[in-house]
Each structure stands twice: as C-alpha cells, then as structure tokens.
Amino acid sequence: MNILIISYAFPPDMNSQAQHVYGLYRTLSKFANVDVLTSEKNNKIDDKNIFYSNLGKLHRINNNTNAVKNDGISVIKKNNKIYKLKSCLIPDSVIDWYKEAINYYEKSINKPYDLVIGIATPYTDLLIANKISRKIKKSFKKECKMILVYADPWYGEHSIRKSKLRKLVEIRMETKILKKANKIYMVTNNAKKFYINNYPFIKDKVDYYYLGHNFLPSETKLIQHNNKVKTINYYGTIQSVHRNPYIFFEALDDSKYVGNLKVNLYLTQHISHQKIIDKINESKNLKQIISIKSAVPYKDMIKLAQKCDYNLIFGNSSNLQIPGKLFDYIGLKSNIIYISNNQNSEIEQILKNYNSIIVDNQKKEIKQMFDSIMEDKISLSINENVCKEMYRDECYKKIANYIKNKNI
C-alpha cells in the first residue's frame, strides 16, 4: 500500500502540528509505504520518504524581511504589505504553496498512490490532496482514495474576519472536497459533532481521534520539583482572538510573587505580542516575574517542559480545538495549569482524568492558585494511565485500522 501525506507543517518545524503529522507518518509507516510532501524548511530530515517543496512566492518574499526585536528578543513580525495581503487570501495564507506543491509532485514524485491524506490546517493542504488524488486517477487510470484530517476546523474558523461573500466561497470549496473524501477525521469529538450538524451528508464518513504524544510511557519519569522559586512555562502564540492572557497578568502583578514565582514565555513571532511586552514593561512586579524569550525548537521545548514546575495552557475561545502541546505535557508526565477561557468539557475531562490544575480565567481564582503554588499547598498525583491512553500509537489506531481494514 502506497500513501502520500500532504502537510505544510512537518519537522524540523517546532509546532505541535508538525509533531502530530510526524507521529502519523511513523505509525502508518509500520504497515505501509508512506511518503510526505511538505513545505521547504531551513533544515531537512535525512529521510528519502520526505519531500520538501519550495515555498510559495509570497512566503519567499516575506521570509526575507527581518523580525522586529525587543530587547534583543525576536518576538514580533514586521507588519508589512505582504503580511497584510496573506490574511486576505482564500482559503488561507499559504495558498501560494498550492501551485508549488502540485508542480513538485508532477516533476519529482509522480507515483500512483493508493491513498492521499491531506492535513489541515492550513486548509490549502486539503485542496492539494484533492488535486493530487484527481491527477493520479487521470494519469495512472486507477482509483486513489482520499482522507482529510482536520487539525483545526475550517468551517466557522474566526481568527480572520471574513466577508459574507468570502464565507460563501469557502463553504462551497469545502463542501466540494468533503463530498469527494472517502473518510474525514477531526481531532476532537466536539468538532466532529459540529461538522455533522453543519454538513449532514458526511455523517457516515466522519470520525475523530486525539493528536497524542510521541513519548513511550515506559521511558518517561515523574520528576519531583522542590524548588523555592516555582517556574511556570508557556510556549507558542499567547495573544490572538483565541486567548485572553491579560487576566493572568493582572493576577500575577503582586509584589508577594516576586522571588517566589517565575514565568517564562517562549513566544513565536507574532505582531500581537507587542501588546504583551508593553503590558509587562508597564509593571515593576511583572518585569521581575516574567521573562519573554524567543520560541525554541521542539526538542528544546521538551527539555524545558520537563525541567519547569508547571506548563501553562490558556484555554481557547473555541471548544472545537485542543492544543497539541497538551498531549506533549501529558506524555512527559508534567504538571499542567489550564486557564479555562470558555468551558470545554472535552478538554477539561482529559485534564481531570490526568489530574491537572484547572482554573477559570478570573483574577480571584488565578491568585488563589498562585498562592497555593507558592505555599506548596498543591499536591498533584499524575494519572499515568492517561499517559498510556494518549500515546501516539493508541490515539492513531482509528485511522490506522480504517486504512488496514478497507484494504486501500
């Protein structure tokens, strides 16, 4: 069986989406011949099954601009014309990769795959998967099945303001590829229900599975932290339409936490982080408690996540998503703080089973949590069974068994 995975994100990218796709690649490779078509990276994995296509023209231009630095730390992206233009593109900012990926397949791969898997986000990956599966059918006169995997939902996505006309165009695009898909997977049960409600015709071919982690439960150990200064780490993008960190900062802005709590923010390049920097610099207390640092590669993030006392997650305003890093933290058997932004019973149930700290995004509750951490009043006992349940191979059984049993 020959499988091609289409994913813009893939290692050595440092995001959790890339690690999810890498885990899926490793799992399916145990019983099939799997290739991955991904976008160009600064470095490459030495693997003959991984194909790196050139970036689109807009991204090549944009990558030549320098990030603005604050105190020597690169945390924000220059707000240039290309950056603004990309936010207007349909279906997303990497549609300029579409032509590059198709051309690369035709010139450098050109295999008659039995199955093509498109990973979203970005949603452009789904369009590429659809186009390549059609090309295989036309060029090789054989049926090529297609699976769509939604890391993030396309329908109802609200990180970009969309006109009614754009929404209508995107709904028609998505409806078309959903009808052509043989199977559809969401990464939350909430998203599965949401899509069935909005696209009833997919009811019999949609399912869900969790992203999972890549750490063998038998190889990770519980680490006991007895530090006087308690460290709390956060990695990724902290300020967007999805999260509200300012209540957390307001609760932390207290002299009693200076010298007792240390918060490290490892931030990706994003224009909105300037407001975070300004907020911290305005406060004498926050400047002593919070350190802002540039994002680190995935492997370094894992090391940092193991060493700190707590790993922080800000709840998403949408209940259709679960942060991929949550599964990494579970796999590492680390202590987790979850700031609930909008009630999400699905993610909270996972965290309750794991035995993490869950607190509403309210100043009083967050301060009570800080006080308990500072005074060593929190005693966590990690549920290691959840670590096993969320291991990559366990989570990907649904998609792996479907492919095996359907004899694609």
Q: Please tell me what DSSP assigns to residue 217.
A: G
As a whole number of angstroms, the distance between CA 268 and CA 266 comes to: 7
- Residue 388 φ/ψ region, left for φ over 0, alpha for ψ in the -120 to 50 degree band, beta for the rest: alpha
Q: Tell me what pLDDT residue 86 has.
A: 67
Query: Torsions phi, psi of 317, nearest 5?
Result: -70, -20
Going by DSSP bridges, is the β-strand pair 310-314/357-360 parallel, antiparallel, or unpaired? unpaired
pLDDT of residue 259: 95
Q: Which helix (H) or strand (E) holds 398?
A: helix 397-406
Q: How far apart are CA 253 and CA 247, in angstroms?
A: 10
The H or E element spanning position 372 is helix 363-374
Does residue 79 surpass a pLDDT of 60? no
What does the block give as tokens for 18? 């890339």
Residue 298 phi/psi, 5-degree rounding, is -55, -45
Band the pLDDT of 68: cuts 50, 70, 90: very low
Residues 6+ apart with CB under 8 A from 361: 244, 247, 248, 314, 315, 339, 340, 341
Please tell me the distance from the alpha carbon of residue 48 to that of residue 29, in angstroms, as a whole number.
Answer: 13
DSSP string, 157-211: --SS---HHHHHHHHHHHHHHHHH-SEEEESSHHHHHHHHHH-GGGGGGEEE---
Angle between helices 397-406 and 16-28 (to 10 degrees): 40
Q: Are the CB atoms for 150 and 91 separated by under 8 Å?
A: no
In this model, does residue 407 exceed pLDDT 70? no
294 forms beta bridges with 267
| Average pLDDT estimate for 304-330 | 89
CA distances from 109 to 13, 106, 263, 353 (A): 22, 6, 47, 45
Which of the 8 DSSP states describes residue 8? S
Cross-strand pairs, 47:
none
Residue-wise burial string across 221-246, b where 16 or more C-beta atoms lie within 10 A, e elsewhere: eeeeeeeeebbbbbbbbbbeebbbbe
Phi, psi of 270 (to 5 degrees): -160, 135
Instruction: Note the pLDDT of residue 216.
Output: 86
User: Is the pLDDT reported for residue 242 higher than 70?
Assistant: no
- In this prediction, residue 65 carries a pLDDT of 47
**% of residues, the chain, pLDDT over 70:** 91
Q: What angle do CA 187, 190, 195 make, to 5 degrees?
A: 85
Tell me the backbone φ, ψ of residue 35, rounded to 5 degrees: -115, 160
Q: Which residues contact 384 (CB under 8 A, 6 or more apart)?
A: 217, 222, 333
Each residue of 340-384: pLDDT tens digit?
987 788 999 999 999 999 999 999 999 999 999 998 887 778 899
In this prediction, residue 313 carries a pLDDT of 94
The residue among 147 and 152 whose pLDDT is bigger is 147
The answer on pLDDT for 75 being more than 60 is: no
